[in-house]
Amino acid sequence: MARQKGRGAREQNRADRRNEYATLVAPHFKGLVVPESPADRIILFGDELVDLALQLAPQIPDGQLVLITSEYDRWNAASEALAKFANATVLQELAELRDPDGFPTEPWSLAVMLVPFQLGAKTVLDLMRDLFSWLRAGSPIYLGGSRMHEWQVTSERFSAMAGPLTVLYNGDPVKIAKGMARGGSLINPEIIL
């Protein structure tokens, strides 16, 4: 079979690597992420977190779950999978959490982030800041990634925002850590740089 060349082939290879990464990391959140209340408001940020969403949605019947996935095909598949849960929504960006009329929204009480390494370190940092801004102080936040994909730098930045991390899973190469939100938008982004 001839090797594919060109931009399309490069884009497909990148997409394949992202899929492999997300498929490698995502299953390790199961059993580690535990809602504190049936009224928890949970944000799941990352591709391939549908199984985790399906596990958590029935545990929060009085709460709300939002899954944020970046690609349309994944958004569509996740929307279909979660359609049976009235408390679950699938979005493509954190900004979609904003009230359309500009009213303040209730803070979220738990978050999970599967690090989107393919976006680059600066964008990942910006996304972490944005995710933290949606959380109330003291909310648990879980971070998952791989040592092969800038885990050291990402976890250090995450720790700067979430305090000391508790490593919940440390298999090679997957890492899952937990921190606590310090108060959402009150975080000073200058301390991270």
What CA–CA distance (Å, rounded) separates 6 from 56?
A: 41
Closest CA to 152 of 139, 138, 168, 165: 165
Multiple choice CATH, 7-41+94-191, 3.30.70, 3.30.1490, 2.60.40, 3.40.50: 3.40.50
pLDDT tens for 68-77 read 987 778 889 9
pLDDT tens for 124-167 read 889 999 999 999 999 999 999 987 767 888 889 899 989 899 99
Segment-wise mean pLDDT, segments of 10 residues, the chain, 193 residues? 61 61 88 96 93 97 94 87 96 87 86 86 88 93 84 88 92 92 51 38
Contact of 189 with 133, CB cutoff 8 Å: no
| Single pTM value for the model | 0.84
What CA–CA distance (Å, rounded) separates 123 from 102?
A: 25
Output the six-digit token pair for 72: 């349309």
Where do the domains of the chain lie?
7-41+94-191
Output the six-digit token pair for 98: 């904003």
